[in-house]
Structure 1
Amino acid sequence: MGSKYGVIVMGPAGAGKTTFCSALIQHLRTQKRSCFYINLDPAAEEFVYEPDIDIKELITLEDVMEELHLGPNGGLIYCFEFLLDNMDFLTDPLEAVTDEYLIVIDMPGQIELYTHVPIVPNLVKALTRGSLNISMCAAYLLESTFIVDHSKFFAGTLSAMSAMLMMELPHVNILSKMDQVKGQVAHKELKRYIEPDVNLLQDVPESGLVYDYKNDLDNGESIGRSDVLTGDAFTKLNRAVGQLIDDFSLVSFLKLDVQDEDSVGAVLSYIDDAIQFHEAQEPREPNDDLVDEPMGDMG
Structure 2
Amino acid sequence: MGKYAQIVIGPAGCGKSTYCHTLYEHCLAIKRSVHCVNLDPAAEAFQYPVSFDIRDLVSLEDVVEELGLGPNGGLLYCMEYLEDNLHDWLGEQLESYGDDDYLVFDCPGQIELYNHLSVFRSFVDFLKNDGWNVCVVYCLDAHFITDIAKFMAGALQALAAMVKLELPHVNVLTKVDLLEDKRHLDDFLFPDSALLLPQLAASTGPRFRALNKAMGQLLEEFSLVSFMPLDITDEDSIADILGQIDIAIQYGEDAEPRIREDEYDPERDGDGDGGDGGDDI
Q: Do both proteins adopt the same fold according to a TM-score greater than 0.5, normalized to the shorter chain? A: yes
Cα shift readout 1:143-190 (whole Å, capped 9, x = no counterpart): 0000010000000000000000011100000100001114x131xx32
User: Which gives a bigger RCO, structure 1 or 2 (Cα 8 Å, sep 6+)?
Assistant: 1
- CA separation of 1:285/1:73 partners in 2, compared to 1, >3 Å: closer, same or farther? same
Map residues 157-172 of structure 1 onto 2, 5 A cutoff. 157-172=155-170
Amino acid corresponding to residue 182 of structure 2 in structure 1: V
Report the CA distance between 1:3 and its aligned residue.
2.5
Residue 101 (1) aligns with residue 101 (2): yes
Report the CA distance between 1:109 and its aligned residue.
0.6
Residue 244 (1) aligns with residue 218 (2): yes
Residue 127 (1) aligns with residue 127 (2): yes
Residue 64 (1) aligns with residue 38 (2): no
Q: Which structure 2 residue ranges, 5 or more long, are not aligned?
A: 264-281
Identity among equivalent pairs (%): 48
Report the CA distance between 1:67 and its aligned residue.
1.4
Aligned to 1:12: 11
Aligned to 2:198: 202
CA distance in 2, matches of 1:261, 1:287: 29
Map residues 104-119 of structure 1 onto 2, 5 A cutoff. 104-119=104-119
Map residues 136-285 of structure 1 onto 2, 5 A cutoff. 136-182=134-180, 184-186=181-183, 189-199=184-194, 200-204=196-200, 207=203, 209-210=204-205, 231=206, 233-285=207-259
CA distance in 1, matches of 2:45, 2:262: 36
- CA separation of 1:96/1:280 partners in 2, compared to 1, >3 Å: closer, same or farther? farther
Q: Report the 3-state secondary structure (helix = DSSP H, G, I; strand = E; otherwise coil) of the residue aligned with 1:99.
A: coil
Amino acid corresponding to residue 221 of structure 2 in structure 1: D
Aligned to 1:37: 36
TM-score by length of structure 1 reads 0.83
- CA separation of 1:204/1:124 partners in 2, compared to 1, >3 Å: closer, same or farther? closer
Q: Report the 3-state secondary structure (helix = DSSP H, G, I; strand = E; otherwise coil) of the residue aligned with 2:253.
A: helix
Aligned to 2:272: none
Report the CA distance between 1:99 and its aligned residue.
2.7
RMSD: 1.7
Aligned to 1:78: 77
TM-score by length of structure 2 reads 0.88
Cα shift readout 1:26-82 (whole Å, capped 9, x = no counterpart): 111111111121100001111112211101111101111121122222211111111
Q: Which structure 1 residue ranges, 5 or more long, are not aligned?
A: 211-230, 290-299
Q: Report the 3-state secondary structure (helix = DSSP H, G, I; strand = E; otherwise coil) of the residue aligned with 2:73.
A: helix
CA distance in 2, matches of 1:9, 1:258: 16
Q: Report the 3-state secondary structure (helix = DSSP H, G, I; strand = E; otherwise coil) of the residue aligned with 2:34.
A: strand
